Amino acid sequence: MRTEVAIIGAGPAGLMLSLLLRREGISSVVLESRSRAYVEQRVRAGLLEHWARELLIEIGAGERLQREGMVHDGIKLSSDGRLHHIDFRQLVGRIVTIYDQKEVVKDLIALSLSQGGEILFEAEATGLEGIESDRPVVHFQHGGEARTITCDFVAGCDGFHGIARPSIPDGVLTVYDRGYPFGWLGILSESPPPADELIYAYHERGFALFSMRSPTLSRLYLQCAPDEDAERWSDSQVFDELEARLGGSCALARGKVLQKSVTPMRSVVVEPMQHGRLFLAGDSAHIQPPTGAKGMNLAFADVVYLSRALTAHYRQNRDDALAGYSRTCLDRVWKAQRFSWFMTQLLHRFPDETAFDRRRQQADIGYVAGSVAAATALAENYSGLPLA
Spatial distance between the Cα atoms of 305 and 106, rounded to a whole number of angstroms: 23
**What does the angle CA 333 – CA 336 – CA 340 come to, to the nearest 5 degrees?**
140
Query: Which pLDDT band, with edges at 50, 70 and 90, does 296 fall under?
Result: very high
CATH top-level class of 180-265+353-383: alpha beta
* CATH code 3.50.50.60 region(s) in the chain: 5-69+98-176+267-342
Neighbour-count burial of 339, counting CB atoms closer than 10 A to its CB (0-12 exposed, 13-18 middle, 19+ buried): buried
Return the pLDDT at 42.
83
Mean of the pLDDT values across residues 15-22? Answer: 98
Cβ atoms of 107 and 114 within 8 Å: the answer is: no
Spatial distance between the Cα atoms of 16 and 384, rounded to a whole number of angstroms: 18
Q: CB under 8 Å to 131, separation ≥6 — which residues?
A: 154, 167, 168, 275, 276, 277, 278
Spatial distance between the Cα atoms of 358 and 134, rounded to a whole number of angstroms: 55
pLDDT digits (tens, 9 = 90+) for 179-235: 999 999 999 999 999 999 999 999 999 999 999 988 999 999 999 999 999 999 999
Which has the closest alpha carbon to 78: 218, 253, 240, 204? 204
Phi, psi of 248, deg, nearest 5:
75, 10
Note if the pTM is more than 0.85: yes
Spatial distance between the Cα atoms of 71 and 240, rounded to a whole number of angstroms: 29
3-state secondary structure labels for all residues of 240-268:
HHHHHHHCCCCCCCCCEEEEEEEEEEEEE
Mean of the pLDDT values across residues 341-357? Answer: 95
* CATH code 3.30.9.10 region(s) in the chain: 180-265+353-383
pLDDT digits (tens, 9 = 90+) for 303-321: 999 999 999 999 999 999 9
Instruction: Tell me how far CA of residue 374 lies from CA of 46, 231, 301, 371, in angstroms.
Output: 25, 39, 25, 5
Q: What are the catalytic residues?
A: 72, 200, 290, 294, 382
Helix axis angle, 12-23 relative to 50-59, nearest 10°?
A: 50
pLDDT digits (tens, 9 = 90+) for 7-17: 999 999 999 99
Return the pLDDT at 43.
73
With 80 as the cut, is the pLDDT of residue 120 above it? yes
For 110, the 3-state DSSP assignment is helix
- Per-residue DSSP letters for 167-202? GSPTTS-EEEEEEEEEEEEEEEEES--SSSS-EEE-
Q: Which amino acid is at 381?
A: N
Return the pLDDT at 388.
80
Spatial distance between the Cα atoms of 382 and 91, rounded to a whole number of angstroms: 12
Mean pLDDT (the chain, rounded): 96
Spatial distance between the Cα atoms of 195 and 253, rounded to a whole number of angstroms: 10
Neighbour-count burial of 36, counting CB atoms closer than 10 A to its CB (0-12 exposed, 13-18 middle, 19+ buried): middle
What are the strands of the beta sheet with 153-156, ordered from one edge? 118-120, 28-31, 5-8, 153-156, 278-280, 274-275
Alpha helices in the chain (DSSP H): 12-23, 36-41, 50-59, 63-68, 88-92, 101-114, 235-246, 295-316, 320-323, 325-347, 355-370, 372-383
Q: For domain 5-69+98-176+267-342, give the fold.
A: FAD/NAD(P)-binding domain (3.50.50)
Spatial distance between the Cα atoms of 152 and 27, rounded to a whole number of angstroms: 10
Mean of the pLDDT values across residues 127-154? Answer: 97
pLDDT digits (tens, 9 = 90+) for 43-99: 777 899 999 999 999 999 999 999 999 999 999 999 988 999 999 999 999 999 999
Query: Which pLDDT band, with edges at 50, 70 and 90, does 133 fall under?
Result: very high
